[in-house]
Amino acid sequence: MSDPRFEQFLGRAIGLNAASIGSSAIERAVAARCKACKLGDIQAYWELLQNSDEEVQELIEAVIVPETWFFRDAQAFAALARLVMRGLPQADAIRPLRLLSLPCSSGEEPYTIAMALLDAGLTAGQFRIDAIDLSARSLALARQGVYGRNSFRGQNLAFRDRYFDATKDGHRLRDAVRAPVEFSQGNIVAPDFHADPAGYDFVFCRNLLIYFDGATQKHVIGVIRRLLAPDGIAFVGHSEAGLMGANGFTSAKIPMAFAFHRESAKPGATQARPVPSPPIHRPRREPPPLAKSRPVLPQSPRHEEKREAALPNLEELRLLADRGRLQEAALGCEALIRRDGATPDALALLGLISDASNDLGAAERYYRKALYLDPANAEALGHLALLLKKQGDHGGAKLLDERLRRLDKRRVR
């Protein structure tokens, strides 16, 4: 039976909700620390904890969950790259982008942000990433920048060849990716917690809120609001998206990116509002992606009639995709196309769904079909450019980027 004093202590110190990792995990951590300190009983360890900041940090290291990897929930980084690409001409003229990764754990997240921005064509001088975490141990690993197999998951590991050197200790990150990232230690629930007062254009606060209770989640979401520039965008983990909506943030409606604007939607604004870009980026119509083309099951004529009459519109399908219901969204798109004929927006959405489902071949086909019907379709152009870059076709991507820029200029005039 766990001693509730330790759970309460950790709750006050770092916001940890014992239920999120289980009381037994805390019990095991306390027992292990007690043993490491060569203390015979829990009471003696409790007293040590009251008098030693070092031991508090050791206990924290024993209970935190540092799990992370490169390009985790990759659509967030693709969305970031798209948003930034749109504003590049402005970014040159104004100031470097400011980004925050908190919690950054052992560095995979902030370094992924750096790789995504470098891939999108930015130079290291055009952005700065503050990376903060509670764990001194994780930060030491982050600063080392050498990673083992666990940090590289999934099929698409082309980034490893571009940005790492293989060594006997693991893959060592190259300096170009390390340079724009600045690590520091911080506890987001501490009353004296502070970060760049100028405000961040993008805050990545992913897979942290899940460890807090309701009151702490509310508090931390308030901190995220304070940290963001007025037009900034916050990215959270997929199971944290509902919390942001419930606490006054507005979804940026980018499927699978779990991205939110600081400001609430204005009264009367439609759900399909285009994504306003962060300060440096010129807003353009925000795209949305979706998944694999799947056959729609044959229906009886009457059933078919009813189902078609109740078909969601394209914006509703975007919302579905945004919530991760990719297959439903894809089926809806296909049904819409059968009923109304193919439109560039529906095809671009199917491209995005395929992209999000890692079916890159289908994604490319959908984007190209959308562009065949409308060569100025910004969603398809932007996403296809990123896709080509991801596949190493930098020449093709450059041509599409140039087309996008020309379109932007025309719109501004």
CB under 8 Å to 382, separation ≥6 — which residues?
A: 82, 85, 86, 284, 287, 400, 404
Q: Which residue has the tokens 């995979």?
A: 108
Least separation, in Å, of the C-beta of 203 and ligand SAM? Answer: 11
The reply on whether position 327 binds ligand SAM by CB under 6 A is no
Nearer to ligand SAM, 194 or 285 (CB): 194
Selected binder of ligand SAM within 31, 48, 62, 65 (CB under 6 A): 65
Of 300-319, binders to ligand SAM (CB under 6 A) are: none
Selected binder of ligand SAM within 105, 126, 251, 277 (CB under 6 A): 105
Of 218-237, binders to ligand SAM (CB under 6 A) are: 237
Least separation, in Å, of the C-beta of 255 and ligand SAM? Answer: 18
Least separation, in Å, of the C-beta of 6 and ligand SAM? Answer: 16
The pattern of x and - marking residues 4 through 43 that bind ligand SAM according to CB under 6 A reads: ----------xx----------------------------
Nearer to ligand SAM, 103 or 289 (CB): 103
The reply on whether position 206 binds ligand SAM by CB under 6 A is yes
Least separation, in Å, of the C-beta of 235 and ligand SAM? Answer: 9
Number of residues this chain uses to bind ligand SAM (CB under 6 A): 23
The reply on whether position 187 binds ligand SAM by CB under 6 A is yes
Binding interface with ligand SAM (CB under 6 A): 14-15, 64-68, 72, 103, 105, 109, 133-135, 138, 187-189, 206-208, 211, 237
